[in-house]
Amino acid sequence: MVKTRNGDVIVEYEGKPAFLKKYIDGLVEDNLSTGMLLQLGQAVFNLHEIPVPKDLRENFSYGLEYFEDVIDSGNFGGKFWGRP
């Protein structure tokens, strides 16, 4: 992950924790072999073993408090929850 000038890896952006990862060049594989799927499964397992940062909040609103305002304004780009 990319560190801030203060050496932090997690910052608050619009009230939510965020971090920036370094770009890793690659490509999209359409047909993964059995070996590749096993490697992918191991990589996901390893990622899930990373401990949660101590200062990370447990609950996030994700802006839910603003959803009704956006829906009522019509600025959401289409149907939302069955509303025109």
6 lies in some domain: no
84 lies in some domain: no
Per DSSP (E only), the strands in the chain are 11-13, 16-18
Residue 44 belongs to domain spanning: 32-79
pTM above 0.95, yes or no: no
Tally of domains within the chain: 1
CA atoms within 13 A on the CB side of 5: 0
Q: Select the more confidently predicted residue: 83 or 1.
A: 1
d(CA 84, CA 44): 39
7 lies in some domain: no
Do 76 and 70 meet the contact criterion of CB atoms below 8 Å apart? yes
| Spatial CB neighbours of 11, under 8 Å, sequence gap ≥ 6 | 4, 17, 18, 19
Tens-place pLDDT, residues 6-52: 888 888 888 788 888 888 888 888 899 999 999 999 999 999 999 98
Average pLDDT over residues 47-61: 84
41 lies in some domain: yes
